[in-house]
Structure 1
Amino acid sequence: MKEFPFDPGDEATLDRLRRMPVFEAADPAQLPSLLGVARLRSYEEEEVIIAEGDTDQTVYFLIRGRCSVNVDGMDLGFIDSLGDVFGEMGMVDRKPRSATITAVSPTLCLALDGAFLDRVSGTDKLAAEALFYRVFSEILAARIRDANARILILEDELEDLSVQRPTF
């Protein structure tokens, strides 16, 4: 991994970040100062970004690349769209990581350590918390809907298997 500070004066990157759904709701004037505590991290193919079981509060925003999601050795899918967010659960509940995220191709992410909220105060803190928790709520709601849909499919498959079971 290579890491370097985010430059709030880098208009090209800032414009790309503004197009991310997570930052669309942010006040454009506050975005550079909010992102001033962020870091850009680049990863090579097959490099682990998050390891299941590790503990930290860093949340990642995908700028480019493709990452795989793996839990207990099972591949669950990919993260590959501009603005995809991962690692947010560590920021919300500060518990060990629930998945391993690995770069499938060269990947660039904006990394934001959730501990920055402890260093911000006043209206900036309230604005940052409101923004992140609203976005995280939307992300988690979408993931719950997806999980529910998968559960229904698995329940149907299980029912089909039990009907097909031979009796002796």
Structure 2
Amino acid sequence: MDYKPLSDYPRDAVDRLLNVIHLFRDIRATSEWQYDVLLKRSRLVTLAPGEALLHAGDVDQWVYFLLRGELQVHVDDDAAARGERPLAEIRPGEVFGDLSMMLEEPRSATIVAAPVGQSIQVLAVDCTLFGDLENFSLLHLPTKLVFYRNMVHSLRWKLEVYRSRYPAHELANSHRRLKLYTGPKNCKEELVSLAGQARNLARILLDWNAEFGSGQLAAEESDMTDFLESILS
């Protein structure tokens, strides 16, 4: 596994790469300086076929965006080592690792690169700074609001996909019953509410995944792969 800071790549290539990721694009639109702070907390990870990225039981605050290749989700390291059929696949454009970060719980699965095919490239973001809702010394309130708005949107979208596929399931309307924030915007009160929503949505999504397996929800963005390869090569 090869880790490289984004500073190892030409800045214009990095900007084009991150412009396709809503979180980075939205933070850059809010503040170029805050965008630079986040770049320093991010890195590109390249994996060889069959190599593990995350292990069940790991504890960390990293969130990941798959840029190129395919990852497989296994229940644990032993299942991955035995070559068992994966619980799910992760494809380019998908965000993962967000549930563990939101709930501050150990990783629930082992994630490995597909055993055959091209090398896999992942953007890893250290989200430690987003977790402390009282500290705005590095990441300011508008930046944290952007992060949690993105997380809530992403989680609700995944839950809506489950709902559309299994409308009669007992979990189908769970996320719709969560209270939405209706107070003043762009304030700490909204931030606290969004963070709470994200945690509650993450818990519901974890319950869905326990029954049906994660990794089946994200949209197929195959055209993104060629674009990423061209700007990172």
Q: TM-score, normalised by structure 2?
A: 0.56
Larger Rg: 1
1:65 to 41, 56, 69: 69
- Which residue of the partner structure matches residue 27 of structure 1? 28
Relative distance call for 1:33 and 1:138 in structure 2 (3 A) is same
Identity %: 31
Greater CA deviation, 18-27 or 106-115?
A: 18-27
Q: Secondary structure at the match of 1:25?
A: helix
- Which residue of the partner structure matches residue 102 of structure 1? 112
1:48 to partner: Cα distance: 1.4
- Which residue of the partner structure matches residue 16 of structure 2? 15
- Which residue of the partner structure matches residue 165 of structure 1? none
Q: Does structure 2 conserve the Cα–Cα contact (< 8 Å) formed by 1:37 and 1:116?
A: no
**Separation of aligned partners in 2, 1:51 and 1:153:** 33
Matched ranges for 1:43-62 at <5 A: 43-62=47-66
Q: TM-score, normalised by structure 1?
A: 0.74
Q: Does structure 2 conserve the Cα–Cα contact (< 8 Å) formed by 1:34 and 1:128?
A: no
- Which residue of the partner structure matches residue 159 of structure 1? none
Listed as ranges, the gaps of 5+ residues in structure 1 are: 156-168
**Separation of aligned partners in 2, 1:123 and 1:50:** 27
**Separation of aligned partners in 2, 1:64 and 1:10:** 19
**Separation of aligned partners in 2, 1:31 and 1:3:** 20
Q: Does structure 2 conserve the Cα–Cα contact (< 8 Å) formed by 1:41 and 1:109?
A: yes
Q: Secondary structure at the match of 1:52?
A: coil
1:38 to partner: Cα distance: 1.2
Matched AA of 2:15: L
Q: Does structure 1 conserve the Cα–Cα contact (< 8 Å) formed by 2:74 and 2:110?
A: yes
**Separation of aligned partners in 2, 1:48 and 1:151:** 31
Relative distance call for 1:70 and 1:89 in structure 2 (3 A) is same
Listed as ranges, the gaps of 5+ residues in structure 2 are: 80-84, 171-233
Quick check: which one's helix share is greater?
2
Quick check: which one's strand share is greater?
1
